[in-house]
Structure 1
Amino acid sequence: MTNPAEFDARLSAVESRMEQIAADAAAAVSDAAAARHLAAARDRDLADLTIKVDANRQAINALGVQTASRFDHLEQRVDAGFEEMRTGFAEMRAKFDQTSAGMAQIVELLTGRDDQ
């Protein structure tokens, strides 16, 4: 066997190395716990984000339905307005025709008197 001083030095080195390995193992366990904690926090964050995205999607869809309904109502009002305008123009045209016929009759009466 080797001398006792050399043996003590080697034993000390082994003990030091074992302490280092134990510290590394404890750090690894701590790192694994931290990783599990971060993964759980990430899962909670993703769940919260999913809920918020779903709520936003529902709100956007509701706004789309509401906007479509408002456009349908607006389209109906515009169509009704154009129909009212067409009716008014037809009435005006009829009255213009009546006025024109009346004026033609007046002109006929006046020209007929001048001839006599």
Structure 2
Amino acid sequence: MATLEEIEARLAAVEQQLQAVRQDAAAARVLAGAADRDVSEFRQALNAHTTTLNALRETQVEHQQETRDGFARVNVGMAEITRLLNRLAEPESGE
């Protein structure tokens, strides 16, 4: 059987180990809190980027439609010019 001195020595060693474990746990909590803040900051940045990209996409879609409308007007105008030029090139009837 262990003597009282051996038990006291073992108890002292366990108490030292317990103190080290408590310090490690406290340090782990600090690291976990920092990691949580980092993830939160990254999430906010990602949301901001996503919002910006969505706004850019919307603007590009609007510009694309404006471009299509503009080309459609140009095509109508060119068709009218072509029609008028063709009329000028036709020989006049009655000559």
TM-score normalised to the size of structure 2? 0.86
1:51 aligns to 2:39 (yes or no): no
Q: 1:26 aligns with which of 8, 16, 19?
A: 19
CA RMSD in angstroms, aligned pairs only: 1.9
Structure having the higher Rg: 1
Equivalent in the alignment of 1:61: 54
- Percent identity between matched residues is 22
What's the counterpart of residue 92 of structure 2?
101
| TM-score in terms of structure 1 length | 0.72
Q: Which has the higher helix share?
A: 1
Structure 1 stretches of at least 4 aligned residues deviating more than 6 Å after TM superposition:
none
The 1-side partners of 2:6 and 2:45 are apart by 57
Offset at residue 41 of structure 1 (A): 0.8
Segments of structure 2 that go 5 or more residues without pairing to the other structure are none
> How far does residue 69 in structure 1 lie from its aligned partner after superposition?
1.3
Q: Alignment length, in residue pairs?
A: 94
What's the CA shift for 1:73?
Answer: 1.3
2:73 matches 1:80: yes
Following superposition, the deviation at residue 15 of structure 1 comes to 2.8
Question: Aligned match of 2:33 in 34, 40, 43?
Answer: 40
